[in-house]
């Protein structure tokens, strides 16, 4: 059983954040076309009592993207999805979702005991709306990812996923999804957020979009953790 940090190191080699690795990424002639990108902060909150989430303080941020043009994409044709953000304060960060096909059900979680467990991937076709769900620990009390112990950041969680709205998930795990966070802070309103989708070699860019982050204006909704 291999730690997720080892798997990510083998797949991506180094952090993209602040190390100039972005220059190594290559762009194919034909890219997938996404539009109507939205970054909404605090849309939902975990039903776990220790999350600290409330209707006025959601701990799950969403990134929405409409797939406008391109072929039907099997889940295995996407290697990873990278989010990078920066603000006028000079701070920012990055978050990486590696396709679960690049680890397995026995992959160890980073902070918690136990394995990732069963995972599922789906297909993406033109007309689909993609949503990336990212959990942070800003209001969390207790637990293995307590901000007093590891700082405020996006964390591995059962609620992390890349979903196709109204359809099957694109990336989902039954255990805590082991994402990788690097940077100064989580996303804040006004940040520029760039989303890069990489092919199975983890270097070929097949789509790239960006949008300004906004606070969610409605009440956050409590949600149970999704399963495959």
Q: What is the total count of domains within the chain?
A: 1
Q: Would 44 be classed as within a structural domain?
A: yes
Q: Would 1 be classed as within a structural domain?
A: no
Band (pLDDT 50/70/90 cuts) for residue 14 is very low
- Stated pTM of the model: 0.86
pLDDT tens digit string along 63-102? Answer: 999 999 999 988 888 989 999 999 999 999 999 988 888 7
The answer to whether 150 and 166 are in contact (CB under 8 A) is: no
User: What per-residue confidence (pLDDT) applies to 74?
Assistant: 85
pLDDT tens digit string along 180-223? Answer: 889 999 999 999 999 999 998 888 899 999 999 999 999 999 99
Band (pLDDT 50/70/90 cuts) for residue 8 is very low
Domain that holds residue 187: 33-223
pLDDT tens digit string along 141-182? Answer: 988 889 999 999 999 898 999 999 998 899 998 888 888 889
Q: Would 22 be classed as within a structural domain?
A: no
| Cα–Cα distance for residue pair 111/140, rounded to 1 Å | 15
Q: Report CA dihedral (52, 129, 4, 223) to the nearest 10 degrees.
A: 30
Q: Specify burial of residue 198 (Cβ count, 10 A radius: 0-12, 13-18, 19+).
A: buried
């Amino acid at each position: 059983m291999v730690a997720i940090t080892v798997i990510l190191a083998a797949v991506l080699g180094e952090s993209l954040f602040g190390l100039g690795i972005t220059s190594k990424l290559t762009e194919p002639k034909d890219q997938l076309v996404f539009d109507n990108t939205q970054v909404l902060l605090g849309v939902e909150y975990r039903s776990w009592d220790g999350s600290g989430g409330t209707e006025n303080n959601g701990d799950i941020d969403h990134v929405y993207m409409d797939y406008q043009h391109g072929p039907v994409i099997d889940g295995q044709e996407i290697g990873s999805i990278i989010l990078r953000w920066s603000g006028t304060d000079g701070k920012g960060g990055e978050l990486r979702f590696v396709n679960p096909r690049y680890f397995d059900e026995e992959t160890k979680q980073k902070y918690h005991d136990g394995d990732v467990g069963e995972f599922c991937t789906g297909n993406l076709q033109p007309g689909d709306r993609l949503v990336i769900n990212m959990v942070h620990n800003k209001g969390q009390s207790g637990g293995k990812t307590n901000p007093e112990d590891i700082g405020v950041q996006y964390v591995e969680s059962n609620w992390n996923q890349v979903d196709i709205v109204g359809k099957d998930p694109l990336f989902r795990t039954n255990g805590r999804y082991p994402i990788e966070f690097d940077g100064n802070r989580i996303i804040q309103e006004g940040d520029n957020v760039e989303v890069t989708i990489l092919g199975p070699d983890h270097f070929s860019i097949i789509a790239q979009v960006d949008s300004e982050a906004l606070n969610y204006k409605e009440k956050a909704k409590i949600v149970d953790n999704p399963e495959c």
